[in-house]
Amino acid sequence: MCGISGIFSFSGQVNKERLANFNNALTHRGPDAQNVYISTSGFLGLGHCRLSIVDTHEHANQPFLSNDKRYSLVFNGEIYNYLELRADLERLGHYFYTQSDTEVLLAAYIEWGENCLQKFNGMWAFAIWDDLKQKLFLSRDRFGVKSLYYKEYEGEVSFASEQKAFKHLDGSITFDLNNVNNALIFPQSVEAHRETIYSNIKKLLPGEFAVVEQNHLRISKWWDTYESVFQVEETVNADLLTDLFEDACRIRTRTDVKLATSLSGGLDSSAVTSQLACFKDVRVEKQLKAFIGSFPGTQQDEFKWGKAVVDHHQLPYNRVNIETDNLIDILFKSTIALEDMNSLPAIGQWLIYESMNKEGYKVSLEGHAGDEILGGYYPYFQAYISDLINERSDINALASAIPMMGQIPNCNAKVIRENLLKVSESYLSSNKKLTKRQALYRRYISNISALQTEIVKEKTYDTYMNNSQLFQRLFEDFHYFSLPNILKNYDRLSMAHSVEIRSPFLDYRFVLAAFKAPHQLRIAKGKTKVLIRDHFKFIPEPVRNRVDKSGFTPPIFHWLENELGYWLKDWIHQKDFLESGLFDGQLLSRDIHTFIKQKNWKAIVSLWPLINLSILESA
């Protein structure tokens, strides 16, 4: 895992000092080595900040050049199946000088061109320069685990792993007010759009590559999950998925450094930690250790569930107590690291990765995407029940499904009735948050453009619309809504502390099989995540059977009653806040002041994206 950067100038030489400043803005992503490369023509410069994980020797540093010096590579991520690809390439006559996946990636591109992408099992954002053809090739992995931002401006194309790096390229970055407003209204869709909240900074979307040559940038789509699902030939059952998950975990232990897990006690992180604990060699050789976030003394504290997992497997662990010491300092650092607007502070995640870094861990295996693949979120109950009603074929299944509504936090008879009345609604029409945000934020922002509500390209396929509502909800959250935002946020939070995240549930083989799997392995018989609950027997039974899902949610109301509230009361009267160029600071200040006096913490939380934005604007 690293940070990459580059400049392709169409009209003049790349300034090495300017490139180095651009690249060094990403040092937190790669503290082990920072290097830049200028092509023979001088029109192309590449930068790399390395976090040494696979083959930690200097000869694997980047930018990495081919033996004939024609190709140069900068690469952020991991190719987990690099050992298998290396063997294939050796049979084709390639010779390797390092033990790194970096060298394998470059050889694969030289041998197969852009078709190499289909052979990779991993996460990545990389750039390859062909000095002979004067061509730059950029690529992003299937599901967008690694970000790649670019900017076309004043006769050059520049790119980087993070948006804030561009501030060090041009001296400043500015907000695009229209994009900011749209992001406020529907923040979960931000990662599904090419545009960002910053002027002129765009992103490659998941499963895309770009070619820059002859003063032109061309973007192509190389991966389509929906089409690929139909190419899965095996009969998908619990045994296949269990085997795929085990192998996904196994190949993600390929590293020359220690391994950690971030364990919340939820089903997904418990699945990853428990599977790793079954690998005796990994436990010893990689010094496997769990880091459990804890909110002591609050209702949000789930330490007991994480402790149940490590006790069952006799794993060493570190309880990371997330308390209010230095809360405001962490608030600012984490908000700036995240770069975009978020609905809650990320204090807990920040402290967990900080703890890993202090103990010398560079890699953390985690459970991201389990909810979106296997139906873990409460709104999926509604989609599942809607399918049962529409099918009108299984009364017993419907009878067992309706009580699932009782698992929803603060659920009562009224909530159940309301959800049942909405079961046939579409995703967007049932997402009342959208209309609530429009009404709420219209008080503070202006020029709200028409929101691009239809970003799911698969909805143009007749075969896609014939799928169940549950399938569509899962597919869209995985590719367009909740998951892309989660992946981006966790990348920023972990890499701020030089920690790489690896997610076995995102192994593309598992993803394809899971989307082809029958719904009975997701939601059935009154249970969610049936695959994990009924078939992942390596997880302690009390954890597998728990239904009180809460997620890693901070005790935000408690914080607002204390340190966070004291800070906020002062912050909303600062000049920068009152004179914001992004929202009506005077009005927002008055409203928040009133809510603080009323102790209406829920109202303040609903305004947190604007508070978050004010911190970004002040940075």
Task: State pLDDT tens for residues 206-234.
Answer: 999 999 998 999 999 999 999 999 899 88
Q: How many angstroms separate the Cα of 576 from the Cα of each of 122, 167, 363, 566, 580?
A: 43, 20, 38, 18, 6
β partners of residue 294: 321
SS3 54: coil
Predicted pLDDT of residue 452: 54
β partners of residue 571: none
Q: Which residues of 473-492 are buried (b: 16+ CB within 10 A; e: fewer)?
A: bbbbbbbbbbbbbbbbbbbb
Q: How many angstroms separate the Cα of 513 from the Cα of each of 119, 231, 232?
A: 17, 10, 7
Task: Work out the average pLDDT over 602-610.
Answer: 96
Q: What is the C-alpha radius of gyration for the chain, rounded to an integer number of angstroms?
A: 24
Contact (CB, 8 A) for 424 and 386:
yes
Task: Say whether 49 is catalytic.
Answer: no
Q: Given pLDDT bands bounded at 50, 70 and 90, which one contains residue 144?
A: very high
The string of DSSP letters for 472-528 reads HHHHHHHHTSHHHHHHHHHHHHHHTTT-EEE-GGG-HHHHHHHHHS-GGGTSBTTBS
User: Where do the H-state alpha helices sit in 76-137?
Assistant: 82-91, 101-112
Q: Given pLDDT bands bounded at 50, 70 and 90, which one contains residue 449?
A: low
Taking the C-alpha atoms of residue 367 and residue 430, their distance in angstroms, rounded to an integer, is 27
Taking the C-alpha atoms of residue 282 and residue 363, their distance in angstroms, rounded to an integer, is 13
Indicate the helix (H) or strand (E) that contains 569: helix 563-571
Distance of alpha carbon 595 from the chain centroid? 33
Least confident of 415-419, 569-573, 605-609: 415-419
Q: Find, among 55, 4, 52, 3, the residue nearest to 29 by Cα.
A: 3
pLDDT for 517 beyond 70: yes
SS3 192: helix
Predicted pLDDT of residue 23: 98
Taking the C-alpha atoms of residue 536 and residue 534, their distance in angstroms, rounded to an integer, is 6
Q: CA 332, 337, 341, 347: dihedral to nearest 10 degrees? A: -60
Taking the C-alpha atoms of residue 605 and residue 550, their distance in angstroms, rounded to an integer, is 17
Taking the C-alpha atoms of residue 131 and residue 128, their distance in angstroms, rounded to an integer, is 10
Q: Given pLDDT bands bounded at 50, 70 and 90, which one contains residue 320?
A: very high
- Report the topology of domain 229-372+483-544: Rossmann fold (3.40.50)
Catalytic residue among 2, 49, 116, 249: 2
- Percentage with pLDDT > 90 across the chain: 81
pLDDT for 612 beyond 90: yes
Task: Work out the average pLDDT over 572-580.
Answer: 97
The residue among 436 and 61 whose pLDDT is bigger is 61
Task: State pLDDT tens for residues 178-192.
Answer: 999 989 888 878 899
Contact (CB, 8 A) for 207 and 479:
no
Between helix 563-571 and helix 608-618 the angle, nearest 10°, is 60
Q: Given pLDDT bands bounded at 50, 70 and 90, which one contains residue 396?
A: confident
Cis before 63? omega within 30 = yes
pLDDT for 5 beyond 50: yes
560 Cβ neighbours under 8 A, 6+ residues apart:
568, 601, 604, 605
Give the residue carrying structure tokens 């290097």.
35
β partners of residue 554: none
Q: Is the pTM of this model over 0.75?
A: yes
Read off the tokens for 594: 């009133």
Report the sign of the C-alpha dihedral through residues 19, 22, 28, 29, in that order. Answer: negative
Task: State pLDDT tens for residues 351-381.
Answer: 999 999 999 999 999 999 999 999 998 889 8
Taking the C-alpha atoms of residue 86 and residue 107, their distance in angstroms, rounded to an integer, is 9
Predicted pLDDT of residue 451: 53
pLDDT for 395 beyond 80: no
Q: Going by DSSP bridges, is the β-strand pair 71-79/64-65 parallel, antiparallel, or unpaired?
A: antiparallel
Q: Given pLDDT bands bounded at 50, 70 and 90, which one contains residue 382?
A: confident
Taking the C-alpha atoms of residue 546 and residue 81, their distance in angstroms, rounded to an integer, is 34
Q: Given pLDDT bands bounded at 50, 70 and 90, which one contains residue 431?
A: very low
Taking the C-alpha atoms of residue 493 and residue 515, their distance in angstroms, rounded to an integer, is 29
Q: Given pLDDT bands bounded at 50, 70 and 90, which one contains residue 67?
A: very high
- HEC states along 226-260? HHHHCCCCCCCCHHHHHHHHHHHHHHCCCCCCCEE
Predicted pLDDT of residue 432: 45
Indicate the helix (H) or strand (E) that contains 74: strand 71-79
Contact (CB, 8 A) for 223 and 492:
no
φ/ψ of 202, rounded to 5, equals -125, 180
Predicted pLDDT of residue 526: 85
pLDDT for 548 beyond 60: yes
Least confident of 127-141, 179-193, 298-312, 330-344: 179-193
Predicted pLDDT of residue 430: 46
CATH of 2-223, one of 3.40.50.720, 3.90.730.10, 3.60.20.10, 3.40.640.10: 3.60.20.10
Indicate the helix (H) or strand (E) that contains 609: helix 608-618
Taking the C-alpha atoms of residue 584 and residue 78, their distance in angstroms, rounded to an integer, is 44
SS3 70: coil
Predicted pLDDT of residue 433: 53
Q: Find, among 369, 234, 315, 382, the residue nearest to 540 by Cα.
A: 315
Task: Tell me if domain 2-223 and domain 229-372+483-544 are identical in fold.
Answer: no
pLDDT for 402 beyond 90: no
Task: Work out the average pLDDT over 106-133.
Answer: 98
Task: State pLDDT tens for residues 31-66.
Answer: 999 999 999 999 999 999 999 999 999 999 999 999
**101 is annotated as contributing to ligand binding:** yes
Contact (CB, 8 A) for 119 and 108:
yes
Q: Find, among 73, 69, 21, 26, the residue nearest to 51 by Cα.
A: 26
For the chain, the domains span: 2-223, 229-372+483-544, 556-618
Q: Find, among 258, 327, 319, 247, the residue nearest to 290 by Cα.
A: 319
Contact (CB, 8 A) for 139 and 126:
yes
Predicted pLDDT of residue 574: 97
Predicted pLDDT of residue 419: 58
Taking the C-alpha atoms of residue 163 and residue 198, their distance in angstroms, rounded to an integer, is 8
Give the residue carrying structure tokens 């996460």.
123
Q: What is the mean pLDDT of the chain?
A: 92
